[in-house]
Structure 1
């Protein structure tokens, strides 16, 4: 059975202070190894790690799923994580677009949905690799990919307001934001791109990468653009009445959809300290908002559109990990520790019962199998996929919990 060297030891270390998590994290480490496939089609430069053998549309690779998986593997095997990063960058098109997902359909390669892209969180993985001891020169190596992808965002996802949007409203069924059927897209303009809080934040991420990884006038210009965009996000996408970041066309609504995607300015360090504290205390730690038995709810319990269906309320551990990373960025180790402990405790309880990990979880601690996936999809089971790695960076979550508890 294939293994990823060092990952089992990393899982053991991450669970040292929480033995109840140890069987689950050992299983996750093993599942990573079982998900590695040889490239038999000349697509990738390295063997590739699929989203997870339980994925109902698999075998598949890519999207932001692989970045979540790599936050696990970077702990014990940074070389493996870097190879997966290079695999996903190998899919980048000449115009800079990153295809949403690579699949094997009847054994033949397929790049799903040629019109859309996906969140460019791979740039955060580069920094995580450097933190793990990989040569900082990799930033220069991957700079051209950030430049090209930023160019694609500018050409295809910049709104008339000068912010950025995803195509979830304008291209039906595109799910470009990575949030399939999210409550933010239940209504809104369909004839033009409008400013989204996540897309604008992710465009800033690419600008920041170009500014920090490069030099000369290109880097200086990227820094000027990033600073201007950050100021606009803080001012134009902040709903002061709610203390929440929302999409640009909703800031005047009294009761807009209250979605976890408002966390991205915190995750990336764009939010002001005051905005971050309001979001953490008023939303991430509020039981009537995102703080469930299994945090973080993807939609606040008090929000319109909240239901037990995929991204409309259930908890995805990947998003919990990002939210807690944002808490740590603003010095809120207390919040990160509370959220991570709850999420891992509930995940472990369901692992003890079922022997598997799930694509997403019931935020009230009920069985994940009771949560709907896509009721209208006749070709897949209508419940979270089992053995799903792409949204379960559980070793990284446990490691982060260890670090925030010790003040690191």
Structure 2
């Protein structure tokens, strides 16, 4: 780690060195028998939905045919109803109960397979029609099974949103508000309790919860974004219409004028914490048609009084009482979020901002040892080190 930090400034502009480092990272985590990369062999030895979609994007940036295999593996666990599980288990199951199924969880996760398919196609590796049909079925499931009367998509467990234990979940009683109460046993117990409040369909897919239901701004943005990506790839007017309708619902119901961000909506449980200013509140910039709102949210990524930090956007505003740059989803910078912010900048033609974010993220990846996430103030690696999705730095501008 120290060596990586000392050498960061010297190599951050070395494109070929970055490519070699990312290739070595994915190669080291690739499991040939399973056909996917594990995020980290010691800490994360399974397949996670959005991790593997990001892996596919990184493999594509490397011009490696394993991009398609990674995307195929992501969708191989799809249930009969269409749900794409957030985990496919490796040799051993998870350390907590995730539903009645033996080989996969019953939850889902941000459906980044639409974007991954679009990226692969744009790089000359268009997925087979059968695989694209499965991706559409996954988004159909979210549209048909997980929408409220407001037209927003809901989640039944914080792990589905991708940003578990963020300050937005505090009013649901999630542990992790301080370092003292952030321990694995407490988190496992709380998550297990939430799972036992979930009801399941006949095929094992999670349907509802008696204690936790929310419409997160970030998750809704991811669904709309992936609908739009697949619509463009397939020239599908139905998917395009759904993407537009969901983007409109996000703007109508989740925009927070005071924070100039989009905020979560609590449906069952929760409270005011759902409106905490976290960087997921910027994500609807991926899909909104309101350019003024998109710019107002995106400019906060560079504002030092909001999310702007030397090593990439903090996950919580730096002046918020909950901000802790070392604490999981309560302050650190995350490679997949930075990548998606870069996509949003590019979508709006903000090329200088995109280039600046790319440079900071590459510097942070080297400084952190290509970590799962890092302290945005000093670039220290946190979580699993290394973790495969840090390779997304190669896809930023690839």
TM-score by length of 1: 0.75
Q: Is the 8 A contact 1:239 1:246 kept in 2?
A: yes
Q: Does 1:130 align with 2:143?
A: no
Aligned equivalents of 2:242 and 2:317: distance in 1? 32
Match in the other structure for 1:52: 40
Aligned equivalents of 1:185 and 1:271: distance in 2? 28
Match in the other structure for 2:394: 395
Residue deviations 1:351-396 (CA, integer Å, cap 9, x gap): xxxxx42111011115335xxxxxxxxxxxxxx1112113441222
Q: Does 1:289 align with 2:288?
A: no
Question: Shift of the alpha carbon at 1:190?
Answer: 6.3
Cα 1:305/1:112, change in 2 over 3 Å: farther
Q: Select the residue among 213, 223, 234 that pairs with 2:240.
A: 223
Q: Which runs of 5+ in 2 are unaligned?
A: 1-9, 95-100, 173-208
Question: Shift of the alpha carbon at 1:261?
Answer: 1.0
Q: Is the 8 A contact 2:154 2:213 kept in 1?
A: yes
Cα 1:274/1:204, change in 2 over 3 Å: same
> Which stretch of the first structure deviates more once superposed, 237-246 or 189-198?
189-198
Cα 1:16/1:200, change in 2 over 3 Å: same
Q: Is the 8 A contact 1:126 1:139 kept in 2?
A: no
Q: Find the residue that maps to 1:194 and give its secondary structure.
A: strand
Q: Is the 8 A contact 2:161 2:218 kept in 1?
A: yes
Aligned equivalents of 2:380 and 2:247: distance in 1? 40
Question: Shift of the alpha carbon at 1:275?
Answer: 1.2
Aligned equivalents of 2:231 and 2:211: distance in 1? 33
Q: Does 1:322 align with 2:322?
A: no
Q: Does 1:34 align with 2:28?
A: yes
Q: Does 1:18 align with 2:13?
A: yes
Q: Does 1:248 align with 2:265?
A: yes
Match in the other structure for 2:109: 118
Question: Shift of the alpha carbon at 1:97?
Answer: 1.0
Q: Which runs of 5+ in 1 are unaligned?
A: 1-14, 169-173, 351-355, 370-383, 401-408
Q: Does 1:260 align with 2:249?
A: no
Q: Find the residue that maps to 2:152 and give its secondary structure.
A: coil
Residue deviations 1:173-213 (CA, integer Å, cap 9, x gap): x5111112111111259646332212322332354356445
Question: Shift of the alpha carbon at 1:75?
Answer: 1.9
Q: Select the residue among 311, 323, 327 that pairs with 1:306.
A: 323
Aligned equivalents of 2:217 and 2:128: distance in 1? 26
Residue deviations 1:141-175 (CA, integer Å, cap 9, x gap): 4342233213321344222433112223xxxxx51
Q: Does 1:178 align with 2:162?
A: yes
Aligned equivalents of 1:387 and 1:130: distance in 2? 28
Cα 1:139/1:323, change in 2 over 3 Å: farther
Q: Is the 8 A contact 1:164 1:200 kept in 2?
A: yes
Q: Select the residue among 322, 337, 342 that pairs with 2:360.
A: 342
Q: Is the 8 A contact 2:57 2:119 kept in 1?
A: yes
Cα 1:288/1:187, change in 2 over 3 Å: same
Aligned equivalents of 1:241 and 1:107: distance in 2? 44
Aligned equivalents of 2:321 and 2:145: distance in 1? 30
Aligned equivalents of 2:379 and 2:291: distance in 1? 35
Aligned equivalents of 1:273 and 1:99: distance in 2? 34
Aligned equivalents of 1:309 and 1:17: distance in 2? 26
Aligned equivalents of 2:230 and 2:367: distance in 1? 42
Cα 1:314/1:152, change in 2 over 3 Å: same
Aligned equivalents of 1:339 and 1:240: distance in 2? 25
Count of residues in correspondence between the two structures: 343
TM-score by length of 2: 0.77
Question: Shift of the alpha carbon at 1:289?
Answer: 1.5
Q: Is the 8 A contact 1:119 1:202 kept in 2?
A: yes
Q: Is the 8 A contact 1:140 1:213 kept in 2?
A: no
Q: Does 1:362 align with 2:375?
A: yes
Cα 1:176/1:272, change in 2 over 3 Å: same
